[in-house]
Structure formats: structure tokens, C-alpha cells
Amino acid sequence: MNAVSRQIRPGRRQPLLSVSHLTKAYGRTLGCEDISFDLFPGEIIAIVGESGSGKSTLLNCLSGQMVPDKGSVVYAMQDKGPTDVLTLKEPERRRLMRTDWGLVHQNPRDGLRMAVSAGGNIGERPMGLGARHYGDIRNEAQDWLTQVEIDLSRTDHHPKTFSGGMQQRLQIARILVTRPRLVFMDEPTGGLDVSVQARLLDLLRGLVMNIGVAVVLVTHDLSVARLLAHRIIVMRRGNIVETGLTDQVLDDPHHPYTQLLVSSVL
């Protein structure tokens, strides 16, 4: 994985993730219907919509937390190339989830081990992959703490002593340590103060651009999408109503629903 291979060259490169006709219903209620899109290496795509629009269902189906009724989620796996992750066996899916993928929960408590130190939280994924040198594991953890702007004096502290913003940054460090190629983020700035949000977004943007990770970002907040995403997918009642480059969609929305969303923010 060199820097060149991480650059975005849509059109000429294979997509990292290719979603086709994904459908999930709860009884008679629709979760999401016939969703298709491609995500390229290093690309950040934001899925926006109100609550109940199906964006969380979609994220859950993509990240393996829920089994869709129909469709495929083809991922360019490092060892065996494009593979429908829905057909993966459980150990393979779990392995993918803790190596090449990551999931940033809205509530950091869901993504962190609250009774384990910050260093241990970051060290878990490397240790799961066989890291056996305490000093190296700790150095790498501290390197990531620095990257997410957490003071090294907090290395051995438990996340429960951290502020919400710090917890969220720790959660991100815990995932990025294995340099995943794809990260799912579920309202990563939800529940944070506006000033804390801004700092986190800034940091996220820097990190993501730096290591060239692709991101599927679910948010109801268009300003988050504008700041982070290359492309936007607008969802309503389980369906995609509009999709395009972020600036394009936000500055010149075509669908009436998107227009409504944009105007309600402004």
C-alpha cells in the first residue's frame, strides 16, 4: 500500500466498495430499498437524511451488523480481490471488521472498552493481529494519541475520565491504528458541543486525507457532510433521492426534498 495507490482516481480504478440493489425491510416497514453506489479508495461519501430515512439501516447492512434481504456489497479485499462481503463466513467478516475496516459509533462508549486504558484501547487491534512487544505496542499507541491530540500523560487513564470529544478521538485512534482502508462513521459528531464538533471535524479531515482511508459517513448534519465528504447521497423513506458531488448537491439541489433539507439548514 503505497501513497500512490491511495489516490483517488475514479473511473480508472476499481471501486473499493460496490453496493448493488441493497434492500432491507422490517416486516411491512421499509428500511432501505434498492440502494446502489460505488465508493473509491480514499473517497469520503456522506449519506444524509432525516431520522427514519433509512440511512442507519443502510449503514448497518453495509457494516455487517444487519443482514439485508436483497442485494450485494462487493468489497475489494486485500487477499482475494472483489468479494461480496455478505457471503463471507463469520470469522472472515469479523476479521475484516477489526483489520481492514472500522466502525466509529456515535456513542464512543459503544466503541471503546471503558474499563481499559487509552493505551490498551489502541493496542487491542494490533495485539489481536499478533503484536507481541509491549514497548512497540505502547509506542504505537502513543503515536496515535499524539495524532488525535490527546496528551501522552493520559496514556494509562481510562476513557471514562475523558471528555466526550476526547473519547470520540480515542475511538478514532483505536480504529485507525491498523490503517484500515474503509471506515464507517455513524453520526461521529452527534452529542458533542458545537465547538468540540468543529475541532473533531478538523482533526478527522486531516487524518482521513493523510492516510487516505475511504469513509462512509452517516449524518443528518449537512454541515458535517460539507466539511468532510467528496460526494453526498440524499436518502428519504428508504430510497436515494439525489446523489452527486458535495458542492453540487448542496449548492444546486435538484430534488425538492434536498432543496428542503438545504434550505432548512441555511
Partner 1 sequence: MTANQEGAARGGRRSAYNFAYLDEQSKRMIRRCILKAMAVPGFQVPFGSREMPLAYGWGTGGIQLTASIIGPDDRLKVIDQGADDATNAVSIRRFFKKVTGVETTEQTSAATIIQTRHRVPETALEERQILIYQVPSPEPLKRLEPREAETRKMHAYGEYGLMSVQLYEDISRFGHIATTNSYPVMTNERYLMSPSPIPKFDNPKLGKNPAIQLFGAGREKRIYAVPPYTQVRSLDFDDHPFKVQRWTQSCSLCGATESYLDEILMDDKGQRMFVCSDTDYCATRKESQQASSNDGTSGSPAHPSREAEKGPNS
Partner 2 sequence: MAYVAVKGGEQAILNSHRLIAEERRGDAAVPELTVRQVAEQMGLAVDRVMCEGSVYDRELAALALKQAQGDAVEAIFLLRAYRTTMPRFAVSNTLDTAQMAIQRRVSATFKDIPGGHVLGSTYEYTHRLLDFDLLDPAPCEDTKANIADRPLESGVGRAFDSIRDEGLIEVETAPAGQQAVFDLTREPLSLPAGRDQRLQNLARGDEGFVVGLAYSALRGYGAAHPYVGETRVGDVAVEIVPEELGFAVSIGDITVTECQMLDLFGGSELQPAQFTRGYGLSFGKSERKAMGMAIVDRSLRCRELGEEARYPVQDEEFVLAHTDNLEAAGFVSHLTLPHYVDFQADLQFIRQLRREKSGDHLDKEAAE
Residues between 8 and 47 with contacts to partner 2, criterion CB under 8 A: 26-29
26 binds, among partner 2, partner 1, none (CB under 5 to 8 A by kind): partner 2
27 vs 130, beta carbon nearer partner 2: 27
Does 67 contact partner 2 by CB under 8 A? no
Does 90 contact partner 2 by CB under 8 A? no
Contact 58/235 with Cβ under 8 angstroms?
A: yes
Does 125 contact partner 1 by CB under 8 A? yes
Does 165 contact partner 1 by CB under 8 A? no
How many CB atoms are closer than 10 A to CB 2?
A: 6
29 binds, among partner 1, partner 2, none (CB under 5 to 8 A by kind): partner 2
Distances in whole angstroms, Cα of residue 26 to Cα of each of 30, 54, 68, 182: 6, 11, 10, 27
156 vs 252, beta carbon nearer partner 1: 156
205 binds, among partner 2, partner 1, none (CB under 5 to 8 A by kind): none
Does 135 contact partner 2 by CB under 8 A? no
d(CA 176, CA 122): 9
User: How many residues bind to partner 1 according to rule CB under 8 A?
Assistant: 25
Return the range that interacts with partner 1 (CB under 8 A); candidates 12-20, 34-42, 60-68, 128-136: 128-136
Q: Which residues bind partner 1 (CB under 8 A)?
A: 90-91, 94-95, 98, 113, 116-117, 119-120, 123-125, 127-129, 131-135, 137-138, 155-156
